[in-house]
């Protein structure tokens, strides 16, 4: 598992204690306008969701925590191996893999584990790329388009309002259609671009999954925040749903400071799609 002892080797604590709960159902505010929702943490029992750590990944632990919040097992995967360890789904986390050298996500997309991720994704494995993970998915050609430096030239960090426009993907089926959510966004190279033909295809086929509302934070074409492949198992987005999964640590809501947990539904979605398939 490499030499980075804190990151590899299955060191993440799993189970209810790791998720900060005591087995009781976790409750959050749910996607805005839909009222409180509760998570059945028993539903995730036995489901293994891998989170790949690359050199320079930053949000792997938050992604793993989100996985534990829904009662699934978070499996630490290492970029330098060819082993998906039998995971039922894989998350490519945010950060600055390989220092964003060459291009953001470019070198990571060529790493050993990505050849396995690409093969498995093409066979239907649910894969979620968040921020740097989204950049990797475009570099790996699992998703079309590319991400370029923000049009205003600055890194941006804000709580971002989004519309979930495709609620049939493996990662969004738990959202009500056209749900509006707020999750943190933080990127320097988040401007989504694609050829005019590709943009038209994404729009026509309903493959724009998340769209920025109110503010376009990075110059993305058509306010696109996240997209999916034609099969709906691979989803990439620049905002960070894994930072909005636990009351007390999410974005502010009208109800209370930092109580936003709108990101949780991405993770419960994949659970539903995995259980539906089983």
**Quick one: which segment of 4-12, 193-201, 222-230, 266-274 binds other proteins (CB under 8 A)?**
193-201
CB of 114 to other proteins, least distance (A): 13
The answer to whether 226 contacts other proteins (rule: CB under 8 A) is no
Residue 147 or 266 with smaller CB distance to other proteins: 147
CB of 151 to other proteins, least distance (A): 5
Give every CB contact of residue 187 below 8 A, 6+ residues apart in sequence. 131, 150, 155, 156, 218, 238
Residue 43 or 106 with smaller CB distance to other proteins: 106
C-beta separation of 219 from 151 below 8 A: yes
Residue 149 or 258 with smaller CB distance to other proteins: 149
Structure tokens at 108: 């990571």
Structure tokens at 187: 């990127």
The answer to whether 139 contacts other proteins (rule: CB under 8 A) is yes
157 is catalytic: no
CB of 67 to other proteins, least distance (A): 29
State the Cα–Cα distance between residues 265 and 227, nearest whole angstrom: 16
Residue 147 or 170 with smaller CB distance to other proteins: 147
Per CB under 8 A, contacts with other proteins among 195-214 are: 195
- Considering the candidates 73, 79, 131, 246, report the single residue annotated as catalytic: 131
CB of 225 to other proteins, least distance (A): 18
- Considering the candidates 73, 87, 189, 240, report the single residue annotated as catalytic: 240
The answer to whether 149 contacts other proteins (rule: CB under 8 A) is yes
242 is catalytic: yes
State the Cα–Cα distance between residues 52 and 211, nearest whole angstrom: 26
Residue from 138, 166, 229, 269 that binds other proteins (CB under 8 A)?
138
The answer to whether 151 contacts other proteins (rule: CB under 8 A) is yes
Per CB under 8 A, contacts with other proteins among 76-115 are: 100, 102-104, 106, 110
The answer to whether 150 contacts other proteins (rule: CB under 8 A) is yes
Catalytic residue numbers read 131, 240, 242
Summarize as ranges the residues that interact with other proteins (CB under 8 A): 100, 102-104, 106, 110, 138-139, 144-153, 189, 191, 193-195, 219
């Amino acid at each position: 598992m490499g030499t980075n002892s804190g990151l590899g080797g299955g060191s993440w604590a799993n189970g209810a204690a790791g998720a900060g709960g005591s087995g009781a159902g976790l409750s959050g505010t749910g996607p805005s306008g839909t009222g409180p929702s509760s998570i059945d943490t028993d539903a995730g029992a036995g489901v293994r969701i891998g989170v790949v750590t690359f050199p320079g990944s930053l949000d792997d632990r938050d992604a793993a925590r989100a996985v534990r919040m829904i009662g699934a097992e978070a499996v630490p995967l290492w970029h330098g191996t060819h082993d998906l360890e039998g995971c039922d789904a894989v998350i490519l986390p945010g950060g600055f893999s390989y220092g964003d050298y060459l291009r953001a996500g470019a070198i990571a997309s060529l790493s050993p584990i990505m050849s396995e991720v690409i093969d498995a994704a093409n066979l239907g494995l649910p894969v979620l790329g968040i921020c740097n993970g989204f950049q990797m998915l475009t570099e790996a050609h699992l998703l079309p388009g590319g991400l370029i430096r923000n049009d205003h030239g600055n890194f941006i960090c804000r709580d971002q309002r989004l519309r979930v426009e495709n609620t049939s993907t493996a990662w969004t089926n738990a959202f009500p259609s056209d749900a509006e959510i707020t999750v943190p966004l933080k990127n320097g190279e988040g401007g989504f671009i694609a050829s005019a033909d590709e943009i038209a295809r994404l729009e026509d086929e309903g493959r724009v999954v998340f769209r920025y509302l109110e503010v376009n934070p990075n110059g993305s074409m058509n306010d696109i925040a996240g997209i999916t492949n034609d099969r709906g198992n691979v989803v990439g987005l620049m905002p960070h749903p894994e930072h909005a999964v636990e009351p007390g640590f999410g974005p502010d809501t009208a109800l209370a400071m930092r109580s936003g947990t709108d990101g949780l539904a991405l993770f419960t979605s994949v659970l539903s799609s995995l259980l539906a398939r089983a």
